[in-house]
Amino acid sequence: MTLPELQALAAEAGMPSFAAGQLAQWLYVKKVKTVDGMTNLSMRHREWLKQHCEVGAQAPADAVRSADGTVKYLYEVGPGKYVESVYIPDKDRATLCVSSQVGCKMNCLFCMTGKQGFSASLTAGQILNQVLSLPETDTLTNVVMMGMGEPLDNVDEVLKALHIMTAPYGLGWSPKRITLSTVGLRKGLKRFIEESECHLAISLHNPIASERAALMPAERGYSIEDVVNLLHNYEFGKQRRLSFEYIMFRGVNDTDAHARALLKLLRGLHCRVNLIRYHAIPGVDLQGSAEAHMLEFRDYLTSHGLFTTIRASRGEDIFAACGMLSTARDTKSGGRVGKLTGETKSGKVRKEPVP
């Protein structure tokens, strides 16, 4: 709940006006798990809250650790429905990759989430729970909305979650600590830019429209050219970063012609390009570009004024890397999940005890 919603709840419960602030502190600062833990509320008001509300905190149902320290967590988000989140520690940074939907409608060729289809959009509470109930929640420095689902296909709940994460009464995070990734749904994109100050990442992957459509069916309804034209109407820079994600596929989008098309498409935008290694998924006949070729592609773009980096790859051995999240293969017993999606390359799953 937002602060105005908590104020309305407090009034309905007959609580004093300052109680909404107390509720927000318990939920978002102290991260209480039960109403009984809200010890500065009267017993009468706590009993009312228990009858009419639930905190919504729910620990992960399962976890698996990569050899590189990345941890993939599984959260139950309704009967028989699950999402995955990925915790990525890196020296003085710790990033959580958060999901916004069960599955995805976009059906990008290279993404396992799209292969499982779409089941449900998450509520703001279910999105926030991935942050608040994470065992390492107090170590987090960054959140990326790059997990399962298309965030702007669930724009109302995503914007509400981002508001609570950045509001002074909520988690109080700087918007600079949060990045949202999208294929570029125009209506939702416009709202996100105007209603949030978080960083923006556009899934690009090919600058040539017909070729992008073969990789990303969303191109047919939300063309990258229209997305770029929209972005020209807004200001990006150090305070709010604009980046384009570009998975490199051998012989598909990594030629000199693609590099030149990228420069033409993004000319005039204050942005960067993040090159991403392709992580092979079952049943898809694509191969990643060679490392040396990725370096050449990066250097060509940078030398022509388009700042380009190669993103470090994490968690591939547990199917936690970019494009590999999926809960389609979960086996359930008594409403609980049997295992996380994917096995390590050795065929074994490294599991962590669930808190």
Looking at the annotation, which residues are catalytic?
A: 84, 322
Is 214:250 a contact under the CB 8 Å cutoff?
no
Q: CA torsion sign, 268 to 274 to 278 to 283?
A: negative
Nearest to 227 by CA among 277, 274, 171, 189: 189
Q: State the Cα–Cα distance between residues 68 and 98, nearest whole angstrom.
A: 19
Q: State the Cα–Cα distance between residues 31 and 262, nearest whole angstrom.
A: 44
Question: Which regions of 58-204 does DSSP assign to beta strands (E)?
Answer: 62-65, 71-76, 82-90, 93-97, 101-103, 118-121, 142-145, 178-182, 199-203
Partners of 246 in the beta sheet?
Answer: 275
Q: CA torsion sign, 221 to 224 to 228 to 234?
A: positive
Q: State the Cα–Cα distance between residues 264 and 224, nearest whole angstrom.
A: 13
